[in-house]
Every structure is written in C-alpha cells, then in structure tokens.
C-alpha cells in the first residue's frame, strides 16, 4: 500500500488551518489506522474531592519553584478560573497562576473536546495498578469523567494497565479482578466508544518485560500466564485483543529488555506489540537510525507472526523539575520536526497504527495538549519549558494540530486503495 507523505509546505499549511484537518467520527471497531495518545489524568488539587487532598503530580507539596514536578505549563486560557485551582505563591505577569484537577469533569471534557476539534482518534487510558484500590474506593472519578467525555465527543478509549511498582506476586490477581469489575460494574466494554478489534475489546498491559526491576514479573512464565488469561482463558466476556506495552528492544532481548529467552514466547503470544521508545533516541539522525535498526525489523517480525505493531512516538522530553540533576530540554522538540520525523518514519516502515506519548504528560515534557507557548505565558517562578525553547514561535495548540495531521495520514494509509 502506498503511503503518501505531505511535503513540508503541506504540513505548514495544514497546521495553519486546523479546520482543514476535519474531525471525522472515530471508528470504534478496529485498530487499523488508529492514532491514540496516552492519557494520564493523574492531576489533583486540594479540595477537589480526592481524599488525598493534595497537589498530586504537579509538585512535591504546594507548588513552588523548588517543589514542581512538571516542566511544561498547560495553557488554561479556555477554562473559567472557577474550575481551576489557584496556586498560592505562583504568579504569571504578577497575576494569580492556576492549575487544574482532572477530578473536575469540565477539565476532562475540554480535553476530549480538543481531541475532536483537532481530529484525534482518542486515548489509551492509563490505569496504574498501584492506584487501583484508591481509584475504586473513591468512586473511580477520573474514569467516570473520561467515559462521559468520550461519549459526548465521540472519541475512542481503551484501558492501559501500567504495572510499574507493584508486587510481582499480586499484580496479576489485582489486574484480573479489576478488569472483571470494569466490565461487569462500570461497563467499560459496553461503552459505545470503547475500542475493539476483531470483535474483542482492546486492552493494553504496559511494563512487563522491562529490565528495570520496578516492572513485574521477573519470570516470563508468569507474564505468559497474564497474556493467555486475557486472550483466551478468561470467561468469554473478559477476553480481549491483547496489546503489550513492551521494552523497545523486545525483539533482541537487549538493553532495556529482560534477557531470559522465555520472553520470546511472551511477546509472540501478544496480539499487538507496542514498544516503549520514549528516550531511546534523541535527534532526527538517531530517529532515522531507529527506523533502520529497530522499527523496520520489528514490523517484519510481527508481520511474520501475524501480529499488529503500534510504534510509539513522542514530541520531546524534559523532566528537570522532576529530577533536578538532569539537564532541561533533554530531548528538544525542534519545533515539531522531531515528532513529525518519527511519524513519517513509521509510515515509511509500513505501520498502520501509532501511539503518541502522551496527551497530558507535562511531568516528562511529552504532552501534546495546549501548552504555554512563551516563557511569559508560564508562571514567573521556577523553570518552565515553553514551546519557544528552541527558538520557534508556535501557538499553544501547535502539537494538537500536528497530531491531527499525523492522524489524518494514518487514516489515509489504512484505507484500501
């Protein structure tokens, strides 16, 4: 199938006129042609109703220059300040600065409204196994907000469990029981916008196989048990099209991947392979090498095994406030050229679907939603990475426009000729 890439001039024209992208209704029946962003939604403010009553994920304690855990500041100009959280001690041009809580349904609704406006298909909803107990005991407020917003704006959603940091002996049981709860009590798979493929709901499990010991399990046999249960051993109502968020070097069992040869059987059992590439390359040149050395061979391997392959692309990376010993703007965005090149490379290699990391991840500087464009648009206090960091004059919605154009290209590539 021929993949037609838009010229640089064409990209710029489409980005200048977002209406040209359109907001076509999402097709919830297939992964073919889908571009999905990861959605964290893990942001809280004191008084938002969360029993933790904290500035969760924004900072260590009250946000201040020395406590921030985010590098990028969201553009909040479209929100009523009554729906935001005033931050004591932070100002923008001398005026009060605000942040938001994803427990507020109006916040999540606006995010999904942007997805529709800019033509994004939808999101993989991040569900950390470490926080399942809290989510459920407090009413699963964030998930309910997401379900309502997805329905209203017609955007695709699918659950993505993240196993990071959980007990290796318990994570499968907790995840399995939670999926049954989500299907039976929350009704996620009956939601009209829940993404399916080959007639089964899509479920992603992220983190198994990574060399980092925070990611259980350490034995491939235990991981294979997880894959097999969700795919074929569970009662029929709970069976899924299984997507694995796997190490970038899953195929070669090198670098970020566990070395045990048994992991090859685990990866071969998955329906969809989604390698985590954030931070694995850091420039246009290394992204091109990744195409030749990893992306193209990965696609060949999955095709040979009748699997789907979802490359992960990211706009840039910076977590200086989260980890002060690291340099700011660690992987520059290059005015969108870095993200664009990765998407072009995925199309060249023949990928039929894509994940963008992430929609709202301001902690690691990978967010694509509306962001402070200039330094003066962010709080006066502290370090902020704004969209002008690489000398580019970009609007706050630049990456939503770019993600919409990438989505349109993948839709076109997936259409039969």
DSSP 31: -
Q: Which two tokens stand for residue 17?
A: 């006129």
In a domain, 10, yes or no: no
β-partners of residue 122 are 36, 156
Task: Provide the pLDDT for residue 6.
Answer: 43
Bond prior to 80 in cis (omega within 30° of 0): no
Bond prior to 358 in cis (omega within 30° of 0): yes
In a domain, 14, yes or no: no
| pLDDT single digits (tens) 119-177 | 999 999 999 999 999 999 999 999 999 999 999 999 999 999 999 999 999 999 999 99
Give the separation between CA 90 and CA 150, rounded to whole angstroms: 33
In a domain, 12, yes or no: no
User: Do 39 and 125 form a contact (C-beta atoms < 8 A)?
Assistant: yes
CATH code of the domain covering residue 271:
3.20.20.80
In a domain, 106, yes or no: yes
| pLDDT single digits (tens) 284-324 | 999 999 999 999 999 999 999 999 999 999 999 999 999 99
User: Do 88 and 101 form a contact (C-beta atoms < 8 A)?
Assistant: no
Q: Which two tokens stand for residue 391?
A: 């000398």
Q: What is the mean pLDDT of the chain?
A: 95
Which residue range is the domain that position 140 belongs to?
22-414
β-partners of residue 354 are 35
Cβ-based neighbours of 396, under 8 Å, separated by 6 or more: 75, 77, 370, 371, 372, 373, 377, 387
Check residue 370 and give left, alpha or beta (phi > 0: left; psi -120 to 50: alpha).
Answer: beta
With both helix axes pointing from N to C terminus, report the angle between 220-228 and 171-181 in degrees, rounded to the nearest 10: 10
User: How many domains does the structure of the chain reveal?
Assistant: 1
Mean pLDDT of 220-235: 98
DSSP 349-363: HT-S-EEES-SS-TT
Mean pLDDT of 208-222: 98
In a domain, 89, yes or no: yes
Confidence category of residue 26, pLDDT binned at 50, 70, 90: confident
CA distances from residue 305 to 14, 238, 245, 272, 309 in whole angstroms, order as listed: 37, 24, 17, 11, 11
Looking at the chain, the number of H-run helices and the number of E-run strands are 11, 12
| pLDDT single digits (tens) 382-415 | 999 999 999 999 999 999 999 999 999 999 999 8
With both helix axes pointing from N to C terminus, report the angle between 398-414 and 337-349 in degrees, rounded to the nearest 10: 10
Of the candidate ranges 16-30, 51-65, 237-251, 288-302, the one whose mean pLDDT is the lowest: 16-30
Give the separation between CA 367 and CA 47, rounded to whole angstroms: 25
Confidence category of residue 47, pLDDT binned at 50, 70, 90: very high
Give the separation between CA 226 and CA 359, rounded to whole angstroms: 27
CA distances from residue 152 to 104, 106, 193, 317 in whole angstroms, order as listed: 16, 12, 10, 32
| Dihedral angle, C-alpha 84, 187, 135, 272, nearest 10 ° | -100
Give the separation between CA 179 and CA 177, rounded to whole angstroms: 5
Task: Provide the pLDDT for residue 185.
Answer: 98
Q: Is the pTM of this model over 0.85?
A: yes
Confidence category of residue 416, pLDDT binned at 50, 70, 90: confident
Cβ atoms within 10 Å of 385's Cβ, excluding its own = 28
Asked if residue 375 has pLDDT above 80, the reply is yes
Task: Provide the pLDDT for residue 348.
Answer: 98
Percent of the chain with pLDDT over 90: 93
Task: Provide the pLDDT for residue 1.
Answer: 35
Whole-angstrom Cα Rg for the chain: 20
Cβ-based neighbours of 91, under 8 Å, separated by 6 or more: 97, 379, 380, 381
In a domain, 189, yes or no: yes
């Amino acid at each position: 199938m021929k993949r037609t890439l838009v010229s640089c001039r064409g990209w710029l024209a489409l980005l200048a006129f977002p209406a040209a992208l359109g907001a076509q209704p999402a097709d919830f029946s297939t992964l073919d042609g889908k571009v999905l962003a990861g959605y964290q939604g893990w942001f809280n403010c004191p008084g938002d109703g969360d029993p933790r009553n904290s500035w969760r994920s924004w900072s260590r304690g009250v946000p201040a220059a020395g406590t921030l855990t985010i590098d990028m500041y969201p553009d909040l100009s479209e929100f009523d300040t009554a729906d935001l959280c005033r931050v004591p001690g932070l100002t923008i041009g001398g005026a009060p600065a605000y942040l938001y809580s994803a427990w507020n349904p109006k916040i999540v609704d606006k995010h999904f409204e942007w997805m529709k406006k800019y033509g994004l298909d939808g999101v993989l909803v991040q569900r950390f196994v470490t926080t399942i107990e809290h989510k459920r005991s407090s009413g699963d407020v964030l998930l309910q907000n997401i379900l309502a917003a997805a329905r209203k704006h017609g955007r695709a959603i699918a659950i993505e469990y993240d196993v990071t940091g959980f007990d290796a002996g318990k994570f499968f049981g907790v995840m399995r029981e939670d999926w049954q709860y989500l299907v039976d009590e929350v009704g996620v798979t009956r939601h009209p916008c829940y993404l399916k493929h080959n007639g089964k709901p899509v479920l992603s499990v992220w983190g198994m196989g990574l060399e980092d010991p925070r990611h259980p399990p350490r034995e491939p046999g235990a991981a294979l048990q997880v894959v097999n249960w969700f795919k074929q051993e569970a009662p029929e109502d709970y069976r899924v099209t299984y997507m694995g968020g796997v190490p970038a070097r899953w195929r070669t069992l090198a670098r970020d991947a566990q070395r045990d040869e048994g992991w090859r059987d685990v990866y071969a059992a998955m329906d969809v392979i989604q390698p985590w590439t954030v931070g694995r390359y850091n420039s246009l040149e290394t992204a091109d090498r990744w195409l030749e050395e990893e992306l193209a061979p990965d696609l060949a391997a999955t095709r040979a095994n009748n699997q789907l392959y979802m490359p992960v692309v990211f706009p840039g990376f910076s977590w200086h406030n989260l980890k002060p010993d690291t340099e700011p703007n660690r992987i520059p965005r290059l005015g969108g050229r870095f993200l664009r090149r990765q998407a072009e490379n995925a199309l060249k290699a023949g990928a039929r679907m894509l994940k963008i990391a992430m929609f709202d991840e301001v902690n690691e500087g990978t967010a694509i939603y509306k962001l402070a464009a200039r330094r003066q648009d962010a709080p006066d206090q502290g370090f902020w990475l704004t969209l002008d960091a690489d000398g580019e004059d970009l609007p706050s919605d630049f990456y939503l426009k770019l993600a919409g154009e990438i989505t349109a290209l993948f839709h076109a590539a997936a259409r039969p000729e």
